[in-house]
Amino acid sequence: TPGLYIVATPIGNLGDLSPRAAEILLNADLVAVEDSRVTAGLFRHLGGKGRMIPYHDHNADSVRPGLVARMGGESVALVSDAGTPLISDPGYKLVRDARAAGHMVTTIPGPCAAIAALTLAGLPTDRFLFLGFLPAKSGARAQAIAEVAGVRATLVLYESGPRLSACLAALADGLGDREAAVAREISKKFEETVTGTLSTLTARYADAPPRGEIVVVVAPPGEAAPATAEDADAALAEALTRLP
Ligand code: SAM
């Protein structure tokens, strides 16, 4: 069927490509890819060839109208280098324009590093906020962290190895020393999840920047500290003044 197929691909282990994703990729009239060398590797694994067309941050605006036009009569699959397209990856404008043009839009859901890390962290999962990559510059990063300090949700963010320790320190500064987890190389040979407070994790990685791909998960703000006896007395006294 013509239209747009948003196809999730593995974040490390090629075995995580779903049979339906493989079928769509092998049969799509066109596969919009972030980096054709990366997706060529996936097609090698599948033992087939895809009709790939580059679609990335630098050419998206010029390529998009033609791509959307072709969805009227052809099946167009969208993939990113890894994981779920649109999640810290290009794609949302393609979906927006495909919808505006009235084309069929569907997804073949699958791996996503943010969700995988959330499941590994052992922190509350009922409410979470995905922050993508924080700004690299320390001032902008501190501001971005300050903006979410009051949010009562687990935070999930992407970071690179060389910047990890500085990022954890900035999170401890802006949020307080919360529990956190660093999930690395998920679904790959050297998968590892390390948990601890932001300050212990900062220290752990300060002199040993980790290799590979990383997701940081941070606990929500703690419950308010237990009231002291004086607080309780004051609250009681205040309540008594309001009794009839
Ligand atoms: N669209 C992707 C997804 O659904 O996960 C994310 C793309 S984003 C450009 C790439 C970042 O995701 C990496 O820098 C890293 O923070 C995280 N990531 C991707 N694969 C990962 C893995 N196997 N383990 C841990 N983090 C990963």
Instruction: Say how many Å lie between the CA of residue 159 and the centre of ligand 1.
Output: 9
Which of ligand 1's atoms lies nearest the C-alpha of 159?
16
Pocket of ligand 1 (CB under 6 A): 11-12, 80, 82-84, 87-89, 112-114, 158, 183-188, 213-215
Closest-CA residue to 155 (of 98, 95, 217): 217
Distance CA 52, CA 39 (A): 8
User: pLDDT by residue (tens digit) across 99-146?
Assistant: 999 999 999 999 999 999 999 999 999 999 999 999 999 999 999 999
pLDDT for res 228: 63
- CA-proximal residue: ligand 1, atom 14 (nearest): 213
pLDDT for res 217: 98
Which of ligand 1's atoms lies nearest the C-alpha of 113?
5
State the CB neighbour count (10 A cutoff) for residue 152: 9
User: pLDDT by residue (tens digit) across 211-232?
Assistant: 999 999 999 999 655 456 676 6
Which of ligand 1's atoms lies nearest the C-alpha of 184?
25
For residue 77, pLDDT over 80 is answered with yes
State the CB neighbour count (10 A cutoff) for residue 79: 31
Instruction: Say how many Å lie between the CA of residue 87 and the centre of ligand 1.
Output: 9
Closest-CA residue to 78 (of 44, 55, 100, 57): 55
Q: What is the mean pLDDT of residues 22-46?
A: 97
Q: What is the mean pLDDT of residues 199-208?
A: 97
